[in-house]
């Protein structure tokens, strides 16, 4: 007869403009980094806690903390902008940071500023913006495809995003797909189909950053207001070397929604 050992894990649920995450204080490093099926199960909205991703907060030798991010499919892939903002807020809640701080990510050490519920993070530099017909591709810590459309609120983001994400060019590695409408006066409305989640999310931090840079590049702007289904964000940046962008900042709210405990088998 087999015995299943159960472990109680405390978690915190966070959201950043509707992009939601399971946050776990893992400073004692007890969580199994290879527990892909467990993480996928915890993120399941029917059978688990439900989230777009899961984030572990750990100590770090050189930064104020380390953020270990998993998509809802249970795997680490690339940087999550809204997850990073939530991680900074959670680290503040844990007493690990206050105001200006640094944190380790899959893209290296990033800088951040925490002011109440507002979190601003310094995103990685963007080396170039590639264009194919009227569409754009750029890497903002994660790979993003940007397409400008009319009436994005009524656009079928799931079907059109899925077609691009699983096209022959992108199906192996996957890509995030952003549909963007200009609202005028330096403001855009962005909706995103995210790989790893394999659905539309209410907001995507690296996605709005990509959309803002593509829009700003077209219109000679470097400070963009972004509307998403989950709330408003701001992205500002500076041109670099004629083709790239630096000093890229993403700012917006992060909020703890609730905390709880769940039993997992080990």
Q: How confident is the model at residue 174 (pLDDT cuts 50, 70, 90)?
A: very high
- CATH number, domain 130-251, options 3.10.310.10, 3.40.50.10470, 1.10.10.10, 2.60.40.10: 3.10.310.10
Amino acid 4: pLDDT? 53
Amino acid 16: pLDDT? 98
Fold of 6-123+254-265: Diaminopimelate Epimerase; Chain A, domain 1 (3.10.310)
Amino acid 3: pLDDT? 46
What is the average pLDDT value for the chain, to the nearest integer? 95
Residue 185 region by backbone torsions, left for phi larger than 0, else alpha for psi between -120 and 50, else beta: left
Confidence check: pLDDT of 139 > 90: yes
Amino acid 83: pLDDT? 97
Q: Once rounded to an integer, what is the mean pLDDT over residues 213-231?
A: 97
Q: How confident is the model at residue 68 (pLDDT cuts 50, 70, 90)?
A: very high
Amino acid 266: pLDDT? 65
Structural contact between residues 96 and 113, judged by C-beta atoms closer than 8 angstroms: no
Rg (CA), the chain: 18
Amino acid 25: pLDDT? 98
Give the C-alpha separation, 195 to 152, whole Å.
19
Amino acid 264: pLDDT? 84
User: Which residues are registered as beta bridge partners of 244?
Assistant: 240
For residue 135, give the H/E element and its range: strand 135-139
Confidence check: pLDDT of 65 > 90: yes
Give the C-alpha separation, 176 to 161, whole Å.
8
Amino acid 192: pLDDT? 98
Distances (CA, A) of 52 to 20, 22, 199: 5, 8, 10
Amino acid 1: pLDDT? 41
Distances (CA, A) of 55 to 65, 172, 186, 235, 247: 12, 24, 32, 23, 25
* Residue positions annotated with a catalytic role: 80, 204
Intervals of CATH 3.10.310.10 along the chain: 6-123+254-265, 130-251
- Tokens linked to 147: 């397409």
Amino acid 64: pLDDT? 98
Give the C-alpha separation, 193 to 260, whole Å.
29
């Amino acid at each position: 007869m087999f015995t299943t050992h159960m472990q109680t894990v405390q978690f915190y649920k966070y959201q950043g403009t509707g992009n939601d995450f399971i946050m776990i204080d893992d400073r004692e490093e007890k969580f199994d980094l290879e527990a892909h099926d467990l993480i996928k199960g915890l993120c399941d909205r029917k059978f688990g806690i439900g989230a777009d991703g899961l984030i572990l907060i750990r100590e770090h030798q050189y930064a104020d903390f380390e953020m270990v991010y998993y998509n809802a499919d249970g795997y680490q892939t690339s940087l999550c902008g809204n997850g990073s903002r939530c991680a900074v807020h959670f680290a503040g809640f844990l007493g690990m940071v206050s105001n200006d701080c640094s944190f380790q990510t899959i893209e290296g050490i990033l800088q951040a500023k925490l002011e109440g519920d507002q979190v601003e993070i310094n995103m990685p530099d963007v080396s170039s913006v590639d264009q194919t017909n009227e569409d754009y591709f750029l890497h903002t810590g994660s790979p993003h495809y940007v397409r400008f459309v009319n009436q994005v609120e009524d656009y079928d983001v799931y079907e059109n995003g899925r077609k691009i994400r699983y096209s022959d060019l992108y199906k192996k590695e996957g890509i995030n797909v952003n549909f963007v409408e200009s609202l005028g006066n330096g403001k855009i409305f962005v909706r995103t189909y995210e790989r790893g989640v394999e659905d539309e999310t209410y907001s995507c931090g690296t996605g709005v950053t990509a959309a803002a840079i593509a829009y700003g590049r077209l219109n000679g702007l470097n400070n963009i207001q972004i509307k998403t289904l989950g709330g408003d964000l701001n992205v500002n940046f500076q041109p670099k070397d004629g083709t790239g962008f630096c000093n890229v900042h993403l700012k917006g709210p992060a909020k703890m929604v609730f905390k709880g405990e769940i039993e997992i088998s080990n």
